[in-house]
Amino acid sequence: MLKELIRKEILNNLLNLRFSLAYFLCTFLLIGSAVIMLSDFLTEKRNYDANTAFYGHQLDGITSASGYSYATKTALRPPFATKIFAMGGERDPDTRARIRFGNWASFEGDFKRNPLVNLFPAVDLLFVVGVILSLLIFVLTYDALSGEREEGTLKVLLSCPVPRDVVYFGKWVGGMVTPVIPLVTAWLAVMLILVVTPSAGAGAGEWGRMLAILGVAILYVATMFSLSLMVSVLAKKSSTSILVLLLLWSVGILVVPSVAAPIGYLLAKARTSSLVEASAVQAVYPRVKAQAGEMGDSASAYWQRISQSGGSFDQGEFDKVIGPAQRRFERMVTDEFIAVSKTKTRDDERADKLGRWISRVSPYGCLQNAAVALAGTGMRNEVDLRLSIEDFSRKTVAFTHQVQQEGSPFDIAQAPRFRYIRADLSMALSDCMIDIAALLLMGAVFFLAGYLRFLRMEAI
């Protein structure tokens, strides 16, 4: 009996023009969005590869440790294929960090790019599933039960020897299959496109993440469908049902996820970048000046000596004279600015955590948090990148000092290079466990509430 009811629901939906059109729209948007995102990603990857090679070669001509110390080392933010699914914070990020003698290493802004992409929401797969598909589910299933009651067909159905729970399960399973079909179809199409595009560089880790995002998306669709069915059961009229669902959609999908992050930021009392930098300069500059003064005195003494003796400038001797002061200066500046960077990162992490907790009130907020964590485009990625920059900064200083102190010949090939290794899938899954659990809980609550109400519902 259950199988018959499921089959009836699926056929009813698939043979219904509005369902077919709506889900065709959804599939079209999903695949279209993926193609556009993939194209952008491939361009970004090409630029990243070209820039990395260039910056790598830029240092090749350096022949001394002090030259390396004064040279600008560049670290670039790598793009990942999973941002096709959930762009998150990788939407127009700052991509370049420059590590220079005596300066703060952090990602910098760049005005030589097109900022207009920020004027519109990114239509990635997360947006299409989270916003568009959820709206379609509401608009097309708001009358799943209330409509049947108004038409009188529910009375006929329940007068047959069909248990109510079988009717409800049948509606749920049959109705759920319909939005999942375009979702899975589109996902498979996207993965096929990635397979035939080897330049996308999608490895085993990326596939795992994409499948995990698909799993969360299906869970989200199930939750939203359960919500729609529940409202359809609770409402006496279809018009009430659609109005309530639209209200919930507007608040839960548009408002809550959008205001959660700013509220988290305000509650965490995080400071803006310019205030952090200005505070850091105010706190650190007097010490930097004193240390730089010591370096300057050593350099002046050297210049005075060769001026009086009529000698010529010798780089090696100059390095020996100012070396100790220079090394103290570099270590001090690096340590001070890394401490400031860590404080800022802690502020930002706190703000992000608070924002995520607030957004968990909404199923879309949970989907967003989980998808972004799995795609590696959220706060963990940002923090890991900042830590990698700090680590690279320390390593370059340590390398230079080691060569200078040992007096060994300088070999640029031995110099540290910036490498960023993204956290693996297990870390990403641990980041989104709470969001997945919240979605499961919400889905279960909506399903049970609708189910229990349906068991007692009057069919007339």
Partner 1 sequence: MFLDCIRKELLSNILSLRYGLTFFLFLVLTLAPTVVRTEMHKHQDADYARAQSLCAEAIDSTENWWEINNLGVTVGKRPNPLAIFAGGLETDMTRSNHLGSEEEPTVSPREMNIPALRYGIRLDMVAVINIACSLLALLLLFDAVCGEREEGTLKMMLAGPLPRDIVILSKLAAGAITLLTPLALVWIVNVLYVTVIAGVTLPPQSLERLAWLSALSGCYVAFFSALGIAVSSWVQRSATALVTCLFIWAVLVLAMPNLLPMVINRAAPIPTESKIIQEKNAIEGDLQRESPKWREEAGATGSLTTLQQIDSVVNARFREEYSRRAKQLDRFYQECVNRQLRLNQQLARLSPSATFVYASTHTAGTGMQDFLHLLSDLEQHRTRIDEFLKTKREEADKVQREFQQRSERGEQGLEPPTQERPSASLIPVFAYQPLTVALTLNSCWIDVVILAGGCVLLFLAAYVGFMRYAC
Smallest separation (angstroms) from partner 1 to the CB of 316: 18
What is the DSSP secondary structure assignment for residue 118, as one 8-state letter?
Answer: G
Smallest separation (angstroms) from partner 1 to the CB of 307: 6
Smallest separation (angstroms) from partner 1 to the CB of 252: 11
Q: Which is nearer to partner 1, 278 or 433 (CB)?
A: 278
Q: Which is nearer to partner 1, 22 or 65 (CB)?
A: 22
Say how far apart CA 52 and CA 240 lie, in whole Å: 58
Q: Which is nearer to partner 1, 75 or 158 (CB)?
A: 75
Smallest separation (angstroms) from partner 1 to the CB of 221: 17
Q: Which is nearer to partner 1, 114 or 426 (CB)?
A: 114
CA distances from 17 to 20, 140, 212, 242, 268 (A): 5, 11, 32, 19, 50
Smallest separation (angstroms) from partner 1 to the CB of 119: 5
Contacts (Cβ under 8 Å, ≥6 apart) of 110: 94, 95, 96
Smallest separation (angstroms) from partner 1 to the CB of 22: 6
Which of 71, 94, 106, 74 shows the shortest CA–CA distance to 337?
106
For residue 203, count other CB atoms closer than 10 A to its CB: 9
Say how far apart CA 435 and CA 385 lie, in whole Å: 23
Task: Look up residue 260 and give its amino acid.
Answer: A
Q: Which is nearer to partner 1, 2 or 240 (CB)?
A: 240
What is the DSSP secondary structure assignment for residue 268, as one 8-state letter?
Answer: T
Cβ atoms 32, 139 nearer than 8 A: no
Q: Which is nearer to partner 1, 131 or 162 (CB)?
A: 131
Q: Is 432 exposed, middle or buried (0-12, 13-18, 19+ CB in 10 A)?
A: buried
